[in-house]
Amino acid sequence: MDRAALDALGEEQVDWRHKGMPPELWGRTVGELRARRPHLSQLPTPLLTLSRTALDHNLAALASWCADRGFDLAPHGKTTMAPALWEEQLQAGAWAITVANLPQLAVAREFGVQRVMVANAVISPLSLRWMSDELAAHPEDEIYVWADAVRTVQLMHDALAADVPDPGTRPKLRVLVERGGSGGRTGARDLATALEVAAAVEDSPYLELAGVAGYEGAMAHTPDEQAREVVAAYLRDLAQVHHELAAAGCYPEGSTPVVSAGGSAYFDVVDDVLRPLADSGARVVLRSGAYIVHDDGFYRGISPLGEHPRTAGPTLRAAMHGWVRVSSQPEPGMAIFDAGKRDLPFDEGMPEVQLLRPRNTGDHTVVLEGIEVTALNDQHGFLHFDPDSPAPVQIGDELRLGLSHPCTALDKWVLVPVVEDADADDPVVVDLVRTWF
For the stretch 25-83, pLDDT in tens is 999 999 999 999 999 999 999 999 999 999 999 999 999 999 999 999 999 999 999 99
| pLDDT average, residue stretch 12-21 | 97
> Are 44 and 61 contained in the same domain?
no
In a domain, 299, yes or no: no
The model's confidence at residue 325, banded by pLDDT at 50, 70 and 90, is very high
> Are 125 and 58 contained in the same domain?
yes
For the stretch 97-150, pLDDT in tens is 999 999 999 999 999 999 999 999 999 999 999 999 999 999 999 999 999 999
Predicted confidence at residue 175, as pLDDT, reads 98
> Average model confidence (pLDDT) for the chain?
97
Predicted confidence at residue 190, as pLDDT, reads 98
In a domain, 337, yes or no: yes
> Are 275 and 396 contained in the same domain?
no
> Are 47 and 69 contained in the same domain?
no
pLDDT at residue 217 greater than cutoff 90 = yes
State how far the Cα of 214 lies from the Cα of 284, in Å rounded to an integer. Answer: 12
State how far the Cα of 187 lies from the Cα of 121, in Å rounded to an integer. Answer: 10
> Are 59 and 35 contained in the same domain?
no
> Are 176 and 104 contained in the same domain?
yes
> Are 34 and 62 contained in the same domain?
no
Q: Give the residue from 159, 178, 181 showing the smallest Cα distance to 170.
A: 159
State how far the Cα of 158 lies from the Cα of 160, in Å rounded to an integer. Answer: 6
The last residue of one of the domains, among 292, 326, 361, is 292
Task: Give me the number of domains the chain comprises.
Answer: 2
How many angstroms separate the Cα of 294 from the Cα of each of 62, 156, 380, 388? 11, 36, 24, 36
Residues contacting residue 46 through CB under 8 Å, at least 6 positions apart? 20, 322, 323, 324, 325, 337, 338, 339, 343, 344
Read off the amino acid at residue 129: R
pLDDT at residue 262 greater than cutoff 90 = no
The last residue of one of the domains, among 237, 260, 292, is 292
Taking residue 74's Cβ as centre, other Cβ atoms within 10 Å add up to 27
pLDDT above 70: percentage of residues in the chain:
100
Structural domain including 39 reads 3-51+316-434
pLDDT at residue 327 greater than cutoff 90 = yes
CATH number for 268: 3.20.20.10
The model's confidence at residue 156, banded by pLDDT at 50, 70 and 90, is very high
Read off the amino acid at residue 429: V
Kindly report the pTM of this predicted structure: 0.97
> Are 44 and 77 contained in the same domain?
no
Predicted confidence at residue 77, as pLDDT, reads 98
Taking residue 308's Cβ as centre, other Cβ atoms within 10 Å add up to 12
pLDDT above 90: percentage of residues in the chain:
99
> Are 36 and 148 contained in the same domain?
no
* Omega prior to 345 cis, within 30 of 0: no
For the stretch 232-246, pLDDT in tens is 999 999 999 999 999
In a domain, 361, yes or no: yes
Predicted confidence at residue 275, as pLDDT, reads 97
The helix-helix angle for 267-279 and 52-69 (nearest 10°) equals 40
> Are 96 and 211 contained in the same domain?
yes
In a domain, 302, yes or no: no
